[in-house]
């Protein structure tokens, strides 16, 4: 019989409209990827009686509870106290938790506030779950054959501890189940209905299920399989998916487009310079999110002002005056100038109108030029992107990175 | 006494990681804007027993339940049947609901599928709530002084019925309410416990409540007040908060640090050049997220390679060889070089080690230098930031923007 797992999220901000609860969906997704489904989830505010009641009632019905939030140092963080009362324990200073909090501050050369000691006041017989990212320790209580995990509400800390502590624990408890395996295919340049239509023509092995979703501006295709041979089934399915999606498949699994571009640039031993106008540094930011980007990325000129385009990229005054800063001639001159200045193998340039102001009849908001120079090749193209300033900037950056991926031309290897 | 309102969302897809529940947050936001807070929310799957149990237990504890999902025409839509069983009613064909469904299809010139008739099978004595957007009718059950609303799960339909039927009902029941007002104060540079301690010394007007939260790397202080004079109470409280938090208060309400820096730069008529190494374009990206950033931002040199620092910023070879690219001398030379090249009023430079690799004993991962040159002033400082690559980069960018805010020195006006 499947483990009955419940999630309990705690915090007034989740109930008064101030903040959406993203932890439940993140936990559901992480557990789902390992073959577990939640049986229920609930949310209560920073009200001690409500937390106690929720813990007791849920523990009565479920095998495992994953509770998040309310472990911080301030007065409205009530989870540890409520947990102690719910399961009839005393609240005591936990030395292991305290030394963990002290270590966190010491390693960062910061002074620990006495108030942070409160975070080590935990129910007796709590097992400490290390927090690799922040100060709040998590803990695990055993009660009547139930396991109740308490994690901080900060998403980054919560997910690190879910994957570092909770999942290994569940796998151990659950013995030799074969969790559902999932493989995500990230697709750029075709819309969701077309992806779905394409997939209807692909014969997948028996036992492989498909699901679709949008992570703007990518479409995600998810294949799932269970059982001992799940990986084998997904490997078989992947052959058909790659063939059907071809060049629109930009990343698989944990891979990202930026990560793949970085990997391909490094493998090819090529260097890159960027010249960014409307993206304002976003392309450089996305590529330098990847550790080791300095291996291939030489520089980016974020040239908002025309003078900057002239100084650093040598864009001619004639181009700026006659064609304008948003033109194919300017994009190409920016890319050429960046390559000349940086002496790199490749240079990529973007210029456009992200809005909301600045559009004209000839060049409405969303007009973007992308240029790539590499070896003897030069390419420049005009796009018309829709949506908000944020979406236009993101779509420009992703399209530009996708040009690099296609230029480098390598097929993506499984994640 | 405040109405105890609970939300119950129903659907397997919300628990297996396939889809995030956005309805709870939308309901919380809509109710919050009208002065109601949720007391709890919960989610169960398409399991009849679980739905029945959730309805019965929640009805025991709360005054109002808003349930969403499971009203569709397919076999896994079980909510109406579960509601009937939970509250001891028979399931019967509701003529009013049926004619509403028939009208929906007729008005759109579409054929009604026989399966849609199932959507009119409702618990006896249900009050029909019209659905202006889709086929599934909603309904309201009265049980033991409780009111239980059932709405479809499709967000667009749900929200239309929440605002068209549920809110008018609550207002009628509750008389005239004065919605809770909230004001958020965004604080940078002091930790949450210190903020809380500081706030304990501030005398707030009667009826103003405080709450604290972290939106890394900011601390958020939230003040809330209800009643006819809520805005006046918050205005009064704001005076004390500004005085107590002083220069650590970087934004209020919908404002952001980047937005305030942009506004202050524009108001001061100053221009800015950036030179970014470890942040890789992130500072430029955050400032150009703000429409109109071209008014003050001239350019940013994202100089990853040493050669780029030499070419574009004129950083001397001696500095790079003897002090290294991560040094106070290099940060200062980068800022001076950016200002010289761009002829701007201000220039800001950052260089550091974001990790995970590249740290040394003298300069561990997280070592960052920030330099600002403006007028005759020059300032450079060394930081030691903790956490992941992402956090180090974000903290560097936010600290650098905060230098600009402090330099521009203006007090922030209410949001």
Confidence band for A346, pLDDT divided at 50, 70 and 90: very high
Cβ neighbours of A298 in B, within 8 Å? 304-305, 307-308
Q: Residues B41, B23: contact at Cβ < 8 Å? A: no
C-alpha distances (whole Å) from B207 to each of A17, B5, B198 are 20, 22, 19
Task: Return the residue in A66, A304, A324 with the most chain B beta carbons within 10 A, the one to mutate for interface testing.
Answer: A304
Cβ neighbours of B288 in A, within 8 Å? 279-282, 302, 304, 393
Shortest CA distance from A292: residue in chain B: B357
Exposed / middle / buried, residue A82 (Cβ in 10 Å: 0-12, 13-18, 19+): buried
Backbone phi, then psi, for B121, in 5-degree steps? -85, 100
Token digits of residue B10: 């129903």
Query: Residue B415 above 50 pLDDT?
Result: no
Q: What is the DSSP string of A211-230?
A: EEEEETTEEEEEEEE-STTH
End-to-end CA distance of chain B: 32
Cβ neighbours of B342 in A, within 8 Å? 305, 307-308, 311
> Which has more pLDDT, A173 or B224?
B224
- Please report the pLDDT score of residue A148 as a whole number: 97
Q: Give rounded-to-5 percent helix, strand, coil for chain B.
A: 40, 25, 35
**Among A residues 149-208, those touching chain B with beta carbons less than 8 Å apart:** 154, 156
Q: Residues B195, B162: contact at Cβ < 8 Å? A: no
Angle between helices A23-33 and A167-174 (to 10 degrees): 40
Cβ neighbours of B301 in A, within 8 Å? 299, 301-302, 312
Percent of chain B with pLDDT over 70: 97
Task: Please name the residues in contact with A377: beta carbons below 8 A apart, sequence gap of 6 or more.
Answer: none
Kindly state whether B299 is in contact with chain A, defined as any CB-CB distance less than 8 angstroms.
Answer: yes
CA distance B99 to chain A (A): 33
CB neighbours (10 Å) of residue A396?
26
Cβ neighbours of B194 in A, within 8 Å? 113
Give the tens place of pLDDT for each residue, A228-277: 888 999 999 999 999 999 999 999 988 999 999 999 999 999 999 999 99
Cβ neighbours of B343 in A, within 8 Å? 307
Task: Return the residue in A308, A337, A356 with the most chain B beta carbons within 10 A, the one to mutate for interface testing.
Answer: A308
Kindly state whether B356 is in contact with chain A, defined as any CB-CB distance less than 8 angstroms.
Answer: yes
Residue from A44, A56, A63 nearest A86 by CA: A56
Task: Return the residue in A47, A280, A357 with the most chain B beta carbons within 10 A, the one to mutate for interface testing.
Answer: A280
Kindly state whether A376 is in contact with chain B, defined as any CB-CB distance less than 8 angstroms.
Answer: no
- Please report the pLDDT score of residue A412 as a whole number: 39
Kindly state whether A216 is in contact with chain B, defined as any CB-CB distance less than 8 angstroms.
Answer: no
Alpha carbon distance A277, B95 (integer Å): 62
Query: Residue A197 above 80 pLDDT?
Result: yes
Lowest mean pLDDT among A42-46, B180-184, B331-335, B344-348: B180-184
**Among A residues 81-100, those touching chain B with beta carbons less than 8 Å apart:** none
Residue from B72, B76, B84, B86 nearest B138 by CA: B72
Give the tens place of pLDDT for each residue, B93-144: 999 999 988 988 888 777 888 888 889 999 999 999 988 888 888 999 999 9
Exposed / middle / buried, residue B384 (Cβ in 10 Å: 0-12, 13-18, 19+): middle
- Please report the pLDDT score of residue A87 as a whole number: 96
- Please report the pLDDT score of residue B19 as a whole number: 82
CA distance A277 to chain B (A): 9
CB neighbours (10 Å) of residue A37?
18
Q: Residues A253, A259: contact at Cβ < 8 Å? A: no
Single pTM value for the model: 0.76
Kindly state whether A288 is in contact with chain B, defined as any CB-CB distance less than 8 angstroms.
Answer: yes
pLDDT mean over A139-167: 94
CA distance A62 to chain B (A): 12
Q: What is the DSSP string of B124-159?
A: TTPEEE--SSSSPPEEEEEETTEEEEEE-SSHHHHH
Cβ neighbours of B299 in A, within 8 Å? 301-305, 308, 312
Cβ neighbours of A50 in B, within 8 Å? 39-40
Taking CB atoms and an 8 Å limit, are A40 and B25 in contact across chains? no
- Please report the pLDDT score of residue B1 as a whole number: 54
pLDDT mean over A121-125: 95
Kindly state whether B306 is in contact with chain A, defined as any CB-CB distance less than 8 angstroms.
Answer: no
Give the tens place of pLDDT for each residue, B304-354: 999 999 999 999 999 999 999 999 999 999 999 999 999 999 999 999 999
Q: Which residues pair with A210 in a beta bridge?
A: A223
Confidence band for B375, pLDDT divided at 50, 70 and 90: confident
Q: Give rounded-to-5 percent helix, strand, coil for chain A.
A: 40, 25, 35
Confidence band for B265, pLDDT divided at 50, 70 and 90: very high
Lowest mean pLDDT among A62-66, B31-35, B281-285, B351-355: B31-35
Cβ neighbours of A54 in B, within 8 Å? 40
Kindly state whether B301 is in contact with chain A, defined as any CB-CB distance less than 8 angstroms.
Answer: yes
Residue from A244, A304, A298 nearest A273 by CA: A298
Taking CB atoms and an 8 Å limit, are B193 and A357 in contact across chains? no
Taking CB atoms and an 8 Å limit, are B21 and A24 in contact across chains? yes
Task: Return the residue in B57, B281, B353 with the most chain A beta carbons within 10 A, the one to mutate for interface testing.
Answer: B281
Taking CB atoms and an 8 Å limit, are B40 and A15 in contact across chains? yes
CB neighbours (10 Å) of residue B379?
13
Kindly state whether B276 is in contact with chain A, defined as any CB-CB distance less than 8 angstroms.
Answer: yes
pLDDT mean over B199-223: 91
Token digits of residue B31: 């109710």
Q: How many residues does chain A have?
A: 415
Taking CB atoms and an 8 Å limit, are A302 and B302 in contact across chains? yes
**Which residue from A29, A45, A357 is facing B17, i.e. has the nearest CB?**
A29
Kindly state whether A108 is in contact with chain B, defined as any CB-CB distance less than 8 angstroms.
Answer: yes
- Please report the pLDDT score of residue A175 as a whole number: 65
- Please report the pLDDT score of residue A115 as a whole number: 87
Alpha carbon distance B213, A13 (integer Å): 9
Backbone phi, then psi, for A373, in 5-degree steps? -120, 135
Token digits of residue B381: 């400082």
Alpha carbon distance B235, B129 (integer Å): 40
Backbone phi, then psi, for A93, in 5-degree steps? -70, 120
Taking CB atoms and an 8 Å limit, are A15 and B38 in contact across chains? yes
Query: Position of tokens 């300017």?
Result: A330
Q: Residues A149, A158: contact at Cβ < 8 Å? A: no
Q: Which residues pair with B403 in a beta bridge?
A: none
Kindly state whether B384 is in contact with chain A, defined as any CB-CB distance less than 8 angstroms.
Answer: yes
- Please report the pLDDT score of residue A19 as a whole number: 84
Task: Return the residue in A11, A16, A115, A290 with the most chain B beta carbons within 10 A, the one to mutate for interface testing.
Answer: A16
Cβ neighbours of B353 in A, within 8 Å? none
Q: How far is CA B283 from the centre of its chain?
A: 21
Query: Residue A414 above 50 pLDDT?
Result: no
Query: Residue B410 above 70 pLDDT?
Result: no
- Please report the pLDDT score of residue B413 as a whole number: 41
End-to-end CA distance of chain A: 32
C-alpha distances (whole Å) from B191 to each of A156, A323, B16, B197, B198 are 18, 51, 36, 10, 11
Q: Residues A326, A353: contact at Cβ < 8 Å? A: yes
- Please report the pLDDT score of residue B177 as a whole number: 61
- Please report the pLDDT score of residue A411 as a whole number: 37
- Please report the pLDDT score of residue B383 as a whole number: 97
Taking CB atoms and an 8 Å limit, are A38 and B22 in contact across chains? no
Residue from A40, A42, A41, A44 nearest A13 by CA: A44
Alpha carbon distance B208, B186 (integer Å): 18
Kindly state whether A289 is in contact with chain B, defined as any CB-CB distance less than 8 angstroms.
Answer: yes
Q: What is the DSSP string of B234-248?
A: HHHHHHHHHHHHGGG
**Which residue from A76, A287, A298 is facing B211, i.e. has the nearest CB?**
A76
Alpha carbon distance B93, B112 (integer Å): 16
Kindly state whether B386 is in contact with chain A, defined as any CB-CB distance less than 8 angstroms.
Answer: yes
> Which has more pLDDT, A180 or B343?
B343
Task: Please name the residues in contact with B59: beta carbons below 8 A apart, sequence gap of 6 or more.
Answer: B65, B86, B87, B143, B144, B146, B148
Residue from A250, A304, A251, A302 nearest A273 by CA: A302
- Please report the pLDDT score of residue B267 as a whole number: 93
Residue from B21, B138, B172, B361 nearest A27 by CA: B21
pLDDT mean over A88-110: 90
Kindly state whether B113 is in contact with chain A, defined as any CB-CB distance less than 8 angstroms.
Answer: no
Confidence band for B298, pLDDT divided at 50, 70 and 90: very high
CA distance B165 to chain A (A): 19
Token digits of residue B327: 């040094």
B/e letters for A100-117, b = 16+ CB within 10 Å, e = fewer, are bbeebbeeeeeebbebbb
- Please report the pLDDT score of residue A40 as a whole number: 96
Kindly state whether A344 is in contact with chain B, defined as any CB-CB distance less than 8 angstroms.
Answer: no
Q: Residues B403, B397: contact at Cβ < 8 Å? A: no
Alpha carbon distance A372, A224 (integer Å): 38
CA distance B302 to chain A (A): 5
Kindly state whether B213 is in contact with chain A, defined as any CB-CB distance less than 8 angstroms.
Answer: yes
Kindly state whether B353 is in contact with chain A, defined as any CB-CB distance less than 8 angstroms.
Answer: no
Query: Residue A215 above 60 pLDDT?
Result: yes
**Structural domains of chain A, with CATH:** 5-174 (3.40.980.10), 181-252 (3.30.70.2860), 257-408 (3.90.950.20)
CA distance B100 to chain A (A): 30
Kindly state whether A65 is in contact with chain B, defined as any CB-CB distance less than 8 angstroms.
Answer: no
Taking CB atoms and an 8 Å limit, are B18 and A32 in contact across chains? yes
Q: How far is CA A101 from the centre of its chain?
A: 27
Angle between helices B306-313 and B328-342 (to 10 degrees): 40
Task: Return the residue in A299, A324, A334, A347 with the most chain B beta carbons within 10 A, the one to mutate for interface testing.
Answer: A299
């Amino acid at each position: 019989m499947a483990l009955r797992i419940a999630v309990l999220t705690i915090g007034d901000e989740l109930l008064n409209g101030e903040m959406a609860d993203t932890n439940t969906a993140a936990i559901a997704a992480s557990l789902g990827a390992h073959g577990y489904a939640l049986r229920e989830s609930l949310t209560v505010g920073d009200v001690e009686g409500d937390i106690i009641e929720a813990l007791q009632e849920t523990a009565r019905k479920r095998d495992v509870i994953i509770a998040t939030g309310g472990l911080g140092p301030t007065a409205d963080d009530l989870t540890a106290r409520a947990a102690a009362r719910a399961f009839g324990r005393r609240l005591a200073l936990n030395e292991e938790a305290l030394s963990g909090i002290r270590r966190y501050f010491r390693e960062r050369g910061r002074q620990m506030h006495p108030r942070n000691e409160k975070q080590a006041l935990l129910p007796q017989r709590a097992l400490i779950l290390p927090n690799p990212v922040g100060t709040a320790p998590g803990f695990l209580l055993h009660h009547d054959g139930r396991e109740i995990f308490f994690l901080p509400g900060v998403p980054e800390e919560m997910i690190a501890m879910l994957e570092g502590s909770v999942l290994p624990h569940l796998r151990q408890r659950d013995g030799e189940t074969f969790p559902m395996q999932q493989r995500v295919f990230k697709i750029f340049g075709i819309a969701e209905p077309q992806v779905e239509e394409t997939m209807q023509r692909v014969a997948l092995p028996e036992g492989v299920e498909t699901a679709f979703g949008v992570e703007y501006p990518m479409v995600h295709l998810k294949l799932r399989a269970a059982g001992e041979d799940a990986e084998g089934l997904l490997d078989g399915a992947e052959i058909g998916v790659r063939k059907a999606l071809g060049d629109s498949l930009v990343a698989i699994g944990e891979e990202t487009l930026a990560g793949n571009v970085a990997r391909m640039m490094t493998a090819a031993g090529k260097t890159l310079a960027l010249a960014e106008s409307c993206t304002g540094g976003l392309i450089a930011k996305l590529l330098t999110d990847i550790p080791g980007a300095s291996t291939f990325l030489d520089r980016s000129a974020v040239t908002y002002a025309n003078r900057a385009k002239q100084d650093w990229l040598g864009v001619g005054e004639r181009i700026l005056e006659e064609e304008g800063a948003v033109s194919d001639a300017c994009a190409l001159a920016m890319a050429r100038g960046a390559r000349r200045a940086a002496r790199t193998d490749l240079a990529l340039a973007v210029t456009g109108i992200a809005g909301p102001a600045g559009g004209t009849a000839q060049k409405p908001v969303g007009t973007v030029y992308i240029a790539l120079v590499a070896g003897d090749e030069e390419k420049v193209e005009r796009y018309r992107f829709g949506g908000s300033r944020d979406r236009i900037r993101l779509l420009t950056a992703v399209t530009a990175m996708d040009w690099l991926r296609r230029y480098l031309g390598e097929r993506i290897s499984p994640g």
